[in-house]
Amino acid sequence: MNYLYKYYLTCCLLLIGLFGVAPVFAQPISAADKKELQKKEDSLKRLSANMVFSEQPADRFRSDSVFTRTFVRALKVKNSFYHPFDSLNISKLYSPDSTFRIFTWQLKKDEYVYLQKGAIQMNTPDGSLKLFPLFDYSMFTAKPLDSVRSRNNWIGAIYYRIIPKEFNGQKYYTLLGFDDYSVSSNRKWLEVMHFNERGEPMFGGAISFKEDSVKKPSQARFNIEYKKEAKTFFNYDPEKDIIVFDHLISESNEPTRKSTYIPDGDFEAFKWKNGQWVHVERLEFELKLKDGDFPRESAILDDAGNANEQRLEEASRRNMEKEAGIPEKEPARPKKATAPKKKG
């Protein structure tokens, strides 16, 4: 592990808790259960740090195995849904409607292989555990874009954003995620998830290119793949209600080599329309974010060991507003979430 990578990993420890902050609920966890959860979290914190940062593969795998078993036992504590597990080196995201939360992390096998792990915890009326483990099938398929998938053949990613949508009475949750894909390239994913009639998570939705000048078939999910060192923007703009991402080109004019792709200053997007994300070929902005505008100190890793999306996007937003002469605003305070209604 080189010095720069160690530095990034050390920096990310300072950012634990940036992602997946729990909604502000009236905490229903009893004092005894809260004490038990905190005790388990202390053990989980050490294990999660070791499975991400240890230089020895055997140690990482052993820590991951113990972490998984210990984490499930912690989640079995009544009303654990309301315990944020802030100190763990994994991604933790609550759905905006508080019906579930999703945990994702990655396990480094070697310089060439990263395995994604995950689980969805449902918010149950009685506080009992309802958990859906996610099994990464990425390395066993050559066509990750082609079909709706269950939790048993999930295309793994470290999720950093959930976007709720609804169409014809069905709720959809769009997940944006990062994948440390290969030794020379990264991927970012757009994944649409819903719960079927049995209440089980299903991954994949219609990603349409019907409005493109050159039309191509719809697909179940979407990704961009780009050079390992490149910094790319891929996130949701709530004001415009669109998903915005960098348009990429090969820096060496080798379009078949995704590891050469970098942003060229233009943007593409997806807009939600009639229950699907419809591709927008070119998004017009008065200002263009140039490749390399991010300050170097923002290129640190998050608590999952991945590029910190929030810091990078905050930097890009500040750069654009600075060029436009917009005074810097104070960060918005999080809104209070109402407690979920119990059924039955």
Point out the residues of the chain with pLDDT beneath 50: 1-20, 286-307, 309, 312, 315-326, 328-344
Is residue 155 within 8 Å of 137, Cβ to Cβ? yes
pLDDT at 112: 81
pLDDT of residue 279: 97
The DSSP 8-state label assigned to residue 338 in this structure reads P
Q: pLDDT value at position 102? A: 98
Tokens 């579930």 map to which residue? 100
Which pTM value belongs to this model? 0.78
Q: How far apart are CA 326 and CA 65, in angstroms?
A: 49
Can you read off the two tokens belonging to residue 173? Answer: 């949750």
Which helix (H) or strand (E) segment is 88 a member of? none
Residue 152 exposed, middle or buried by CB count within 10 Å (0-12, 13-18, 19+): exposed
Distance between CA 189 and CA 27 in Å, rounded? 33
Residues contacting residue 135 through CB under 8 Å, at least 6 positions apart: 151, 152, 153, 154
CB atoms within 10 A of CB 18: 16
- Domain extents in the chain: 3-324
Cα 184 from Cα 262, distance rounded (Å): 12
Bridge-based pairing state of the strands 158-167 and 170-179: antiparallel
The per-residue pLDDT for 11 is: 39
pLDDT of residue 337: 42
